[in-house]
């Protein structure tokens, strides 16, 4: 059983105890952030099943990269986890391979079918989300990330800066350009001028 | 489009939560027991491995001296200024046909497609870079030479780098001591998300370029810069070669031996213009923009930057990237009037390894 003080401790404090050997505290960190990471990954991919895999990957990667960890305001791990999620989403195929390889080297975990899954509603969600993503994907990856972090993940500018590993000023300017580019996409075309911030055809960085 | 009009977040399936937590707790427990294998390499290196790396750097430095001495170029360990400049001589490049260069690049791309780049999730690269530097002290600019030996281990765009540096004068006299080997635990690898198909790769490399500029220079520089890092995968390397092969300016530069003594085949491409004239307009900034334009309009004052890629013709591996300024160095460097190497990067080792700290050899 976890002691009472854990509930009031910051992520930074829990994480330091976890790294020091209190392995069961992973359930605390996971419990605090898994839902928001899962939601973020769904909104970035439009697939619940991919979001489930990516959520596992994000926490695995967080552990693997624990030496690089950066905490946000009040010792929160949340912005950094979204940064790890961004990398995992960008390198999805490789991340999934690494995840499977990691699982194969661990004793089998108990995975049972979840009988409560609302299949129809989930399919509706996915269809709706893919329509949104089809528009968003016309923006550059930087603009997609900054919009997703601030609008969907609810991070403030400082949190987004931690997630993206860039200065706050860069987040502000990216966000401004991303919103302008998004507004231009939503407007009917009135001339042939290129939209600032939209990515060239096929670009992915 | 309203970004807020998206589906609500649903709870993670309970079975998934339980499985994830069980796996993560087990992983953390295993990390507390150093004798057991981890699914991933620990992020920090043990003392014995750091010692080995120091020895590796010492060996690399020794190799630098021996290769340089053999070529009559840099001498890192001399305490006396030499009588003549010790700037390295450019490799023996030729200027062959475009078609031949395309054939060399496409053959190399195909060779890379069949290359097995080692085993493991970590990309490892060991490089040695030589570059002209300008140090300014007491209102005086001095041209020095910096040699950097770097080992990197990256995964998913970030990782660890170990770097050692030595500055010398252009006569080969050391400036200060070699820097202490430094470790960067937050090394960022710009190559990680490069596409492996030619069209999106080209677009990605040009992504940040101003549309009004000379995109050929930007593209050529971006290709060479990516290859010089040594961290591209075989598929990315092949794609970079294919994009380079589409550029009209690429030319066959013949068979050469690189600065590590390896036999290779070279291709070249122009990567820029600079002010090589006596007015030194672009460097000093002491003249007006109009005067600078006038100076640069005089072709006698223009220098040409050319970057050469030396690759292994059998495996397609990039071996050396060399940037050469002709007919002289940029004016502010006050170097002798002959073709000058601005920088070269040797890719000494590269491949996939099982964990951070491991090498391919």
- The 10s digit of each residue's pLDDT in A82-98 is 988 988 888 765 656 55
Distance CA B79, CA B56 (A): 24
Residue B271 in domain: yes
Q: For B260-296, how does the pLDDT look when each residue is reduced to its tens digit (9 = 90+)?
A: 999 999 999 988 766 666 555 443 334 444 554 555 5
Give yes or no for A152 touching B (CB within 8 A). yes
Do the domain assignments include residue B184?
yes
φ, ψ of residue B354 to 5 degrees: the values are: -80, -25
Task: Give dist(CA A102, CA B155) in Å, integer.
Answer: 15
Domain contains B40: no
- C-alpha distance from A67 to closest chain B C-alpha (Å): 6
How many other CB atoms sit within 10 Å of the CB of residue A184? 18
- Rounded Cα–Cα distance for residues A85 and A57 (Å): 8
| B135 domain-assigned | no
In percent, how much of chain B has pLDDT > 70? 65
Q: Which chain B residues are Cβ-neighbours of A140 within 8 angstroms?
A: 207
Query: Using 50, 70 and 90 to split pLDDT, how confident is the model at B319?
Result: very high
Q: Is the pLDDT of residue B101 over 90?
A: yes
**CB-CB neighbors (< 8 A) of A110 in chain B:** 18-19, 22
CB B193 within 8 A of CB A91: yes
Residues in A 27-56 with any Cβ partner in B closer than 8 A: 27, 30-31, 34-36, 38-39, 42-43, 48, 52, 55-56
Q: Residue ranges of chain A with pLDDT lower than 70? A: 1-5, 67, 92-119, 186-205
* pLDDT surpasses 50 at B360: yes
B11 inside domain: no
Least Cα distance to B155 among B353, B361, B359 occurs for: B353
**Number of folded domains that form chain B:** 1
Asked if the structure places residue B44 within a domain, the reply is no
Q: What is the ipTM of this complex?
A: 0.72
Cα of A74 to nearest chain B Cα, Å = 22
Q: Which of B1, B25, B200 sits opposite A182 (nearest CB)?
A: B1
* CB-based contact B43 A66, cutoff 8 Å: yes
Give the whole-angstrom CA distance, residue B149 versus residue B128.
4
Predicted structure pTM score: 0.49
The alpha-carbon gap from B30 to the nearest alpha carbon of chain A, in Å, equals: 9
More confident residue, B56 or B294: B294
How many CB atoms are closer than 10 A to CB B42?
A: 15
- For residue A98, give the nearest of B7, B17, B121 by CB distance: B121
Estimate to the nearest angstrom the gap between the alpha carbon of B187 and the chain centroid.
14
Element of type H or E holding B158: strand B158-169
Q: Is residue B57 part of a domain?
A: no
Domain region containing B325: 92-130+147-353
Q: Is the pLDDT of residue B89 over 50?
A: yes
Contact B17, A52 (CB under 8 A): no
The answer, for A122 touching chain B at a CB cutoff of 8 Å, is: yes
Across the interface, of B5, B15, B156, the residue whose CB is closest to A114 is B15
Please state, in angstroms and rounded to a whole number, the distance separating the CA atoms of residues B51 and B46.
Answer: 9
Answer whether residue B9 is part of any domain: no
Residues of A in contact with B194 (CB under 8 A): 205
Q: What is the pLDDT of residue B190?
A: 78
């Amino acid at each position: 059983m976890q002691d009472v003080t854990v509930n009031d401790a910051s992520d930074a404090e829990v994480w330091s105890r976890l790294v020091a050997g209190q392995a069961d505290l992973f359930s605390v960190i996971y419990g605090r952030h898994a839902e928001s990471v899962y939601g973020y990954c769904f909104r970035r991919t439009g697939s619940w099943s991919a979001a489930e895999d990516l959520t596992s990957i994000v926490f695995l990667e967080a552990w693997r990269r624990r030496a690089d960890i950066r905490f946000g305001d009040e010792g929160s791990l949340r912005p950094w986890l979204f940064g790890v999620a961004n990398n995992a989403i960008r390198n999805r195929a490789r991340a999934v391979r690494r995840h499977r390889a990691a699982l194969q080297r661990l004793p089998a975990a108990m995975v049972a079918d979840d009988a409560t899954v609302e299949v129809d509603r989930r399919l509706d969600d996915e269809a709706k989300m893919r329509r949104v993503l089809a528009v968003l994907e016309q923006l550059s990856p930087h603009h997609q990330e900054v919009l997703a972090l601030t609008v969907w993940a609810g991070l403030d500018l400082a949190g987004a800066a931690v997630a993206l590993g860039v200065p706050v000023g860069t987040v502000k300017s990216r966000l401004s350009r991303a919103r302008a580019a998004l507004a231009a996409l939503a407007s009917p075309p009135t001339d042939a001028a290129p939209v600032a911030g939209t990515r060239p055809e096929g670009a992915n960085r | 489009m309203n970004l807020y009009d998206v589906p609500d977040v649903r709870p993670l399936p309970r079975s998934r939560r339980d499985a994830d937590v069980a796996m993560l707790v087990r992983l953390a427990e295993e990390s507390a027991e150093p004798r057991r294998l981890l699914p991933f390499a620990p992020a920090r290196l043990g003392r014995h491995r750091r010692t080995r790396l120091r020895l590796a750097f010492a060996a690399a430095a020794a190799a630098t001296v021996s290769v340089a001495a053999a070529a009559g170029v840099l001498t890192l360990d001399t305490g006396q200024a030499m009588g003549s400049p010790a700037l390295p001589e450019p490799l023996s490049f030729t200027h062959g046909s475009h078609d031949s260069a395309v054939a060399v690049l496409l053959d190399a791309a195909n060779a890379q497609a069949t290359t097995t780049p080692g085993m493991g999730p970590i990309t490892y690269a060991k490089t040695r870079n030589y570059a002209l530097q300008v140090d300014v002290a007491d209102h005086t600019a001095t041209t020095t030479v910096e040699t950097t030996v770097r080992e990197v281990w990256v995964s998913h765009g970030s990782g660890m780098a170990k770097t050692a540096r030595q500055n010398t004068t252009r006569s080969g006299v050391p400036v200060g001591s070699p820097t202490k080997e430094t470790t960067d635990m937050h090394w960022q690898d710009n190559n990680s998300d490069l596409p492996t198909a030619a069209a999106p790769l080209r677009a990605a490399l040009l992504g940040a370029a101003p549309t009004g500029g000379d995109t050929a220079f930007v593209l050529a520089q971006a290709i060479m810069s990516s290859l010089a890092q040594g961290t591209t995968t075989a598929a990315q390397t092949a794609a970079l070669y294919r994009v380079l092969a589409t550029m009209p300016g690429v030319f066959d530069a013949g068979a050469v031996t690189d600065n590590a003594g390896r036999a290779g085949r070279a291709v070249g491409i122009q990567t820029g213009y600079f002010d090589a004239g006596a007015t030194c307009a672009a460097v000093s900034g002491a003249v007006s923009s109009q005067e600078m334009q006038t100076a640069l309009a005089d072709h006698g004052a223009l220098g040409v930057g050319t970057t050469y890629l030396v690759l292994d013709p059998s495996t397609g591996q990039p071996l050396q990237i060399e940037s050469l300024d002709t007919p002289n160095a940029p004016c502010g460097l006050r170097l002798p009037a002959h073709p000058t190497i601005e920088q070269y990067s040797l890719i000494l080792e590269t491949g996939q390894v099982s964990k951070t700290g491991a090498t391919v050899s």
